[in-house]
Amino acid sequence: MEAAAQQELAAQAQPSGLRERIGFVGAGQMGEALIRGFIQSGVSTAANLSASVRSEERQRAMQQLGIQVFGNALLGGAEALCEASDIIVLGVKPQYLDSILEALRPHLGARHLIISIAAGAASAYVLGNHATLEDGEKAYALFSSVGLAIPVEERMMDAVTGLSGSGPAYVFLAIEALADGAVAAGLPRDKALALAAQTVSGAARMVLEAAGDNSLTHPAVLKDKVTSPAGTTIVGLAELESAGVRGALIRAVKAAARRSEEMG
């Protein structure tokens, strides 16, 4: 779908409860987070959700959420999941996608909408060549109910994976390092970690909420606002720039995007 059409879709579609039954193939941390989010937001209900998972641990986790559980899709669970679902969310690792799709294929019909989150990035989405506007509205309703849902062109998905898919790990590393610095400066570990996490959360919220016209404020503007002349912040920023932190983050995203492209 053309970028303009995707942007129009994002502007017009609004999160709402869906009647469609949603089945997950694979429900690891991201899948479970989405299931919980769909239920909590009201976009779906436990009665309309199901999952095909491999391990007994994952089966118990899904049962605790009150959703229907099927066995391994590669060992007979595919047919039951397809019968019980209108929307199928693929939450398996990329290397397993082909075998999962082969298992699902005989049981898929015209009513089924397939959504893959295998790349690990659920904030951005791209519509396939055969997807309709209605399909896009359903995908938008689902993902916007749990956070940002940003339509992108297919050629951009490797970059999305390098940023949003791998990005949480970069932020976890930053939180850990900030906490380590605070410990070195005298704070107890538990307080340092809590403050580091809250600092990152608050800064991200400022970027997302600072503008009133639905456009994001550039982080450089916010950075300048909190940096006083001859103060503590400018000294800390100078250390980060001297160490090449900005360039390291840029290279990390590019390297992860290249790896995503290599994995196909």
Residue 141 maps to which CATH number? 3.40.50.720
> Partners of 114 in the beta sheet?
88
Both 179 and 89 in one domain: the answer is: no
- pTM comes to 0.72
Both 30 and 151 in one domain: the answer is: yes
Tell me the per-residue pLDDT of 184-225, one tens digit each, with 9 for 90 and over.
999 999 999 999 999 999 999 998 886 555 567 789 999 999
> Per-residue pLDDT for 252 more than 80?
yes
Better-scored residue on pLDDT, 180 or 154:
180
Both 49 and 68 in one domain: the answer is: yes
Lowest mean pLDDT among 1-15, 24-38, 109-123, 157-171: 1-15
Q: How many Cα atoms occupy the beta-carbon half-sphere of 81 within 13 Å?
A: 30
The token pair at 172 is 């976890």
What is the number of structural domains in the chain?
2
- Domain-located, residue 35: yes
Alpha-carbon span 235 to 201, nearest angstrom = 22
Helix (H) or strand (E) holding 142: helix 133-144
Alpha-carbon span 156 to 71, nearest angstrom = 34
Please compute the mean of the pLDDT values over residues 237-245 and round it to a whole number: 98
Residues sharing a CB contact under 8 Å with residue 99, sequence separation 6 or more, in sequence order: 74
Both 141 and 11 in one domain: the answer is: yes
Average pLDDT, the chain: 86
Both 89 and 129 in one domain: the answer is: yes
Both 145 and 183 in one domain: the answer is: no
What pLDDT shows up at residue 89? 92
Q: How far apart are the first and last CA of the chain?
A: 20
Quote the percentage of the chain above a pLDDT of 70: 89
Tell me the per-residue pLDDT of 15-50, one tens digit each, with 9 for 90 and over.
457 889 999 998 888 889 899 999 999 999 999 999
Both 119 and 190 in one domain: the answer is: no
- Domain-located, residue 32: yes
What pLDDT shows up at residue 196? 98
The token pair at 3 is 């970028």
What pLDDT shows up at residue 12? 46
Neighbour tally for 194: CB within 10 Å: 13
Provide the 3-class DSSP secondary structure of residue 205: helix
Helix-then-strand count for the chain, H and E: 12, 7
Residue 93 has what DSSP assignment? -
Asked if 21 contacts 85 with a C-beta cutoff of 8 angstroms, the reply is yes
Residue-range definition of the domain harbouring residue 210: 165-263
Lowest mean pLDDT among 10-24, 63-77, 225-239: 10-24
What CATH number did the domain enclosing 259 receive? 1.10.3730.10
